[in-house]
Amino acid sequence: MSDVESRGADAVVDAARAWVAQDPDAETRAELESLIASAADGDEAALSELHARFDERLAFGTAGLRGELAAGPNRMNRVLVTQAAAGLAAYLREKRGDEASVVIGYDGRKNSRVFAEDSAEIFAGAGVRTTLLPRLLPTPVLAYAVRHLDAAAGVMVTASHNPARDNGYKVYLGGDDHGSQIVPPADAEIAAHIAAVAAAGPITSLPRSSDYALADESLVFSYVAATAAVAGELPEGTSLDVVYTAMHGVGWDTASRVFEAAGLPAPVSVAAQQEPDAAFPTVSFPNPEEPGALDLAMQTAREHGAELIIANDPDADRFAVAIPDPSAEGGWRRLSGNEVGTLLGWAAAEEEAGAAHGAHREKGVLASSIVSAPALGEVAAHFGLDYVATLTGFKWISRAPGLLFGYEEALGYLVNPETVRDKDGISAAARFLALALRWKAAGRTVADQLELIAARIGHFASGQISVRVSDLSERGRIMDRLRAEPPRELGAAAVTSFDDLATGVAGLPVDNILRVLTADGSRVMIRPSGTEPKLKVYLDVRGDSGADASARLAALDAALRPLLVP
C-alpha cells in the first residue's frame, strides 16, 4: 500500500471512529465498529466499504434524502437524519423566525418512527413549533397536514416504493408553496444548512426537547372526509367487486376509511399484504410497477371473481390498477400509469367542460411530467383546456397554475389539488372506484372506457425500459455515449430529432433528459432516476388501432435495448 493510500485509509478510519462516537443507534454503531476492525486488520473489502460510506455524503436535493440503512454519511441513519433535521430547523428559523413550524409523519419502514421522533426532538430543541403525527400514516396525510395545520414545513420519513433496506426523508414547504415538495433554491439552501451542522461538530452537542405536540385522530378524520369527497355522487343500484392491496405498507387503514365514508364498495383486501411489514416479505420490490408485485392481488381477484384490482405502494402516494384481460398471463393486466392518467384526466376535463358551459371562468389546466405520454395533452385539446408539461416530479406538477388534474407515468396522480399538493394514491383510488362504478352503470368496463377515449384522441401505447446499475457512473456513461453517437434510426423508423434537454429546447423545461423523435411519430425520453440507481427510458407511440400501437411499441422496445447496455 502506498503512503497516499495509507494516509487515505487512516483518514477514513478516523472519520468512521468519530462517527461511532456520536451514533446513538446500537445496531449501526456495532456494524461500523466491525468494519473498522476488519479494515484495521488489512481487509481491503472492509476498507473499500468505509470509503463508499465516508468519501461522499448522501445528497440532499429536491427529493430530500433517500438511501440504504447503514452507518456513515452516505447512508440513512440516526446521525444523518439528526443533522438533516437540525439543518432544516436552521433554515426555517432563518426564513420564518419565531413563526417557524413543522409537522412530521412516518410510515412503517424500519427506523421510520425513530427518525421521526429524533427529528421532532431536534426541531423542538431549535425552537421550531413541532407537531408529530399520531402514528404511522400514509404520505398523503402528511402532505394534507402541512396545509391543514398551516405549518411552515412538513417532513415525511419514507422511502416510498424503494427496496426494504432503504429509508428516506421527504420535505414539504407551506406558506406560498402551499404544501408542495421543495424545489430550487430551497433545496440548496437547506443542504447548505445541513452541511454547516455536520461540520460544526457531533450531534451530541445539538439541543433536544420533548416539548412537541402529538396530533390527534381528528386530523386523520379530516383527511378522510376531504378525500372521500372526490368520489362525488355514486350511481344507485350498481355494485363492483374489487380487490385491494396495500403492498405491506400503511395504506389499508386510511384507504378503507375513505372508501366507507364515500359510500364506495368495500374491497377484498389481500390479507398477506394488508398490514405494514418493513421486510416486504411477499415482493422483491414493493412497487406496483415491478413484475410480480401484483401477483397475490391477481390470485385473490381470481379466487373472488373480482372485476377490478387497485393497489397502493407502501406509503400510499402511488396508485395502480389491473383489469381482467383474457389475453394476459393469469387473466389480468396492469394498466400503465399513462392509461390511468388518461382515464382520470378525461374525467376531470369532462367535468370541467360541463361546469364551465355557459360560465365565464378561467380555463382549467391539465398537467403531466414531460416523460409522461402525450395523450393528456390531446385530452386537454379535445375539451379546450390548457395543458402544461413539467419537469419530472410532483414538486413541479403540483405548481401548475389553475391545476385541475396532474399525473406522472410512475403511478402518481393528483385529483384534488385544493386538498393535497402532492401525488395521493388514496384519493386517486377513491376517484377511480367512483368512476368505475359510473362506467359500469352506463354499461362500460374500464377497458371500454379506454377504447371510447382512444376513439376521440387516438390510440396511444407507452412502455418503459429500466436499466438498473450497480455503479451510478454507469448511468452517465450511457447518456454520454448516446449524446456522442445519437441513433440515426430506431428499427424501421428514421430518427427525425435528437434533443438534449440539458442544453435547452424551446418549449420544454431544462433537465438531464434526452428526447428522440422518429418519422413514424414515436417518442423516446431517457433520463437517470432521481430516487433509484437506474436509467429510465420512456417509450410512447401512436397507432391506427390498439393492436397497431402495441406492435409499434414492441418494435421500438426491441430497437432501443441494444443501445442501453452499460
Amino acid letter for position 322:
A
Residue 96 has pLDDT above 80, yes or no: yes
367 strand-pairing partners: 388, 406
Q: Tell me if the bond preceding 288 is cis, omega within 30° of 0.
A: no
Distant-in-sequence, close-in-space partners of 326: CB < 8 Å, separation ≥ 6: none
Per cent of the chain over pLDDT 90 is 87
Residue 6 has pLDDT above 50, yes or no: no
DSSP notation for 76-89: BSHHHHHHHHHHHH
* Pick from 4-8, 314-318, 421-425: least confident: 4-8
Confidence (pLDDT) at 355: 75
**CA pair distance 184, 182, nearest whole angstrom:** 7
DSSP notation for 150-215: T-SEEEEE--TTS-TTEEEEEEEE-GGGTTEEP-TTHHHHHHHHHHHHHHH--GGGS------EE-
Residue 360's pLDDT band, with cuts at 50, 70 and 90, is low
pTM: 0.93
Residue indicated by cell numbers 430516487: 531
Closest by CA position to 487, among listed 563, 385, 405, 422? 563
Mode of pairing for the β-strands spanning 319-324 and 308-312: antiparallel
**CA pair distance 387, 379, nearest whole angstrom:** 9
Over range 57-65, report the average pLDDT. Answer: 88
490 strand-pairing partners: 493
Residue 358 has pLDDT above 70, yes or no: no
pLDDT in tens, 432-472: 999 999 999 999 999 999 999 999 999 999 999 989 888 88
pLDDT in tens, 189-240: 999 999 999 999 999 999 999 999 999 999 999 999 999 999 999 999 999 9
| Count of C-beta atoms within a 10 Å radius of residue 15 | 17
Residue 558 grid cell: 426491441
The answer to whether 254 and 316 are in contact (CB under 8 A) is: yes
Over range 415-433, report the average pLDDT. Answer: 97
Residue 3's pLDDT band, with cuts at 50, 70 and 90, is very low
**CA pair distance 319, 335, nearest whole angstrom:** 11
Distant-in-sequence, close-in-space partners of 485: CB < 8 Å, separation ≥ 6: none
**What burial class does residue 356 get, using C-beta atoms within 10 Å of its C-beta: 0-12 exposed, 13-18 middle, 19+ buried?**
middle
**What burial class does residue 302 get, using C-beta atoms within 10 Å of its C-beta: 0-12 exposed, 13-18 middle, 19+ buried?**
middle
- List domains and CATH numbers for the chain: 1-55 (no CATH), 60-215 (3.40.120.10), 218-457 (3.40.120.10), 459-564 (3.30.310.50)
Residue 63's pLDDT band, with cuts at 50, 70 and 90, is confident
pLDDT in tens, 533-547: 889 999 999 999 999
pLDDT in tens, 472-487: 888 989 999 999 999 9
Confidence (pLDDT) at 471: 81
Residue 532's pLDDT band, with cuts at 50, 70 and 90, is confident
309 strand-pairing partners: 243, 322
Residue indicated by cell numbers 386517486: 428
Of residues 119, 160, 427, 529, which has the active-site annotation?
160
pLDDT in tens, 311-357: 999 999 999 999 999 999 999 999 999 999 999 999 999 999 877 65
The answer to whether 487 and 498 are in contact (CB under 8 A) is: yes
If you ran DSSP here, which 8-state letter would residue 285 be given? S
Mean pLDDT, the chain, integer: 94
Confidence (pLDDT) at 504: 82
Long-range Cβ contact pairs of 181-186 (< 8 A, separation 24 or more) = 181/62, 181/63, 181/64, 181/393, 181/394, 181/395, 181/398, 181/422, 182/62, 182/64, 182/395, 183/62, 183/395, 183/396, 183/399, 184/62, 186/91
**CA pair distance 331, 303, nearest whole angstrom:** 12
240: left (phi > 0), else alpha (psi -120 to 50), else beta? beta
* 369 part of the active site: no
Let me know the angle formed at the C-alpha of 390 by 389 and 391, rounded to the nearest 5 degrees: 140
Residue 565's pLDDT band, with cuts at 50, 70 and 90, is confident
Helices (H) and strands (E) in the chain, counts: 17, 22
